[in-house]
Amino acid sequence: MIGVCIACLLSAGCMTTGIDEISYEEHAFHITIDESMLPEEVIVQIIIFSMQGFHQVEEDLIIQTMSIQPGTDTLTIPHTLEEGTYKFHLFVFTEEKRIAGRIFQLTLEGE
């Protein structure tokens, strides 16, 4: 029974094996992917939610096809955000399936 549970965990679609780091700097998302087995082209989807108290409001949806290099590569997706607290749902797809996903949150403050 434990072996079945471990096998289910390892094959779950929400495991993130290819996304190493995510940051937002200089009006752009920077996503570091470390995976030599990915195809040369992936589809990146970012759903942006603003956090307002206990509510989240969908602000934007970014879908972009990107070329990647085998090994470690950093993808840059330009996007301007105002000050505030945001939650992001990030997904990386091939043509056939979702290969990585991560949810993260950040607060942008004025300079």
Residue 99's closest CA among 76, 61, 66, 77? 66
Distance CA 3, CA 7 (A): 6
- What are the chain's domains? 14-108 (2.60.40.10)
Which regions in the chain score pLDDT beneath 70? 1-17, 36-37, 111
- Say what the pLDDT of residue 33 is: 86
3-state secondary structure of 86: strand
- Say what the pLDDT of residue 36 is: 67
Joined tokens for residue 32? 């570091």
Distance CA 66, CA 43 (A): 6
* Model pTM score: 0.77
